[in-house]
Amino acid sequence: MIFNTWVFALFMTVVFITYWWGIVPSWRRWFLVGAGLVFFAYRYPPHTLLLLILTIWVYLLGQAIYELKDREACQGIPTEQRQKFLLWLGIAACIGALGYYKYRLPSTSDIIVPLGISYFTFEFIHYLSDLYAGKIERSSFLDFSVFPIFFPTLASGPIKRFQGFRESEGEIKSFQGHYLSEGLTRILVGIAKKSIIADSMAPFSLRLSEPESFQGLALWLGVYAYALKIYFDFSGYSDMAIGCARLLGYRIPENFNYPYLQSNISEFWRRWHISLSSWLRDYLFIPLGGSRGSVVKTSINLLLVMALCGLWHGGTLNYISWGVYHGLGLVVFRLFRTALGGKNRLGLAGRILGILLTFHFVALGWIFFATPSFEASLMVFKKVLFIK
């Protein structure tokens, strides 16, 4: 279901009324699991089995890790290697499912990609990783299953953390009027972003899909239009997801915080798709060594993580190139900041210049998203940069 449709509006209305006044409070979480499965099955019912299998598999592996931790604590029996084996077994299942459906060969291109698989597999990996690290307490199957199958975030995030989700859940007692006002406000803001701004940019951004038909200035208009379209489309969707969750009493992570008004690419990534960028930081960049090593090692880590970020979006050369492009931007900025001694010495004028440069760097990067092939991307770059 797409959020800004009458089908979803009807679905959300029925869920909202039933959740608060149609069932007893003790059944609300089971009802949310059922609603999530209905939402997921609407697009392609057979994929519901995949979601259920992964949910059960990850939960059982988590319980097995807990048992090993208890055995080690009570009996002094070393279980670290077995815990690590179970962790990687769960991660391999998630990555395997993601890889099979999203990065398939052309000969299997008729396979339908499960709704939100990029998002719920990352939530599973987070759960297992934090559980292994001792950051998550033992929970029941219901406690766990409502987390990945929570329908407001199932399709396109934000990517939740189990601890924050459970904390939010613990605050819900009974219906409060501000749930309705806050939820509807965010939903309406999201619909306005998507339907009024993003959709109005679509005709201009389509120029990037046919670069042979346009020249430099016309393509620049397409670049600006696509930058606005992708921001208001995605942030609007996140607003709608946050609003739907709020109608049910939950708080889920914010995903955008004025990313186009940041004066450097590092700040941009702290405020763009926040739930993904923080996931990449915590579960890829830091485990790889983060910025604790040499300049060369840190640069390699940044390039690798951003290349994988591009691959997460799609298995084409365009997406990977977009990731490497941003990785290079982060490396150059880190070297520049180091040369300045880690301080911003440019003042207000420098900040304004930084905002303009960062926005244009990001906007040009979206060319890789908007064009149908790598060759088309190069054609757009040549034309907008007036390269013969």
Given a contact cutoff of 8 angstroms between Cβ atoms, the answer to whether 156 and 193 are in contact is no
Instruction: Determine which one of 47, 126, 273, 313 is catalytic.
Output: 313
Asked whether the CA dihedral 119, 122, 128, 129 is positive or negative, the reply is negative
Using alpha carbons, select from 165, 56, 157, 144 the residue that is nearest to residue 116. 157
Given a contact cutoff of 8 angstroms between Cβ atoms, the answer to whether 59 and 172 are in contact is no
Residues 147 and 30: their CA atoms lie apart, in Å, by: 11
Q: Copy the structure tokens of residue 306.
A: 């951003």
126 catalytic residue (yes or no): no
Cα-trace Rg, the chain: 22
Q: Copy the structure tokens of residue 66.
A: 């807990």
Given a contact cutoff of 8 angstroms between Cβ atoms, the answer to whether 119 and 151 are in contact is no
DSSP code of residue 112: P
DSSP code of residue 139: -
Angle between the N-to-C axes of helices 47-75 and 80-102, in degrees from 0 to 180, rounded to the nearest 10: 170
Using alpha carbons, select from 169, 154, 161 the residue that is nearest to residue 120. 154
Using alpha carbons, select from 385, 313, 363, 373 the residue that is nearest to residue 103. 313
Sequence-separated (6 or more) residues with CB below 8 Å from residue 387? 381
Q: What is the DSSP string of 30-85?
A: HHHHHHHHHHHHHH-TTHHHHHHHHHHHHHHHHHHHHHHHHHHHHH----HHHHHH
Q: Which residues are catalytic?
A: 313
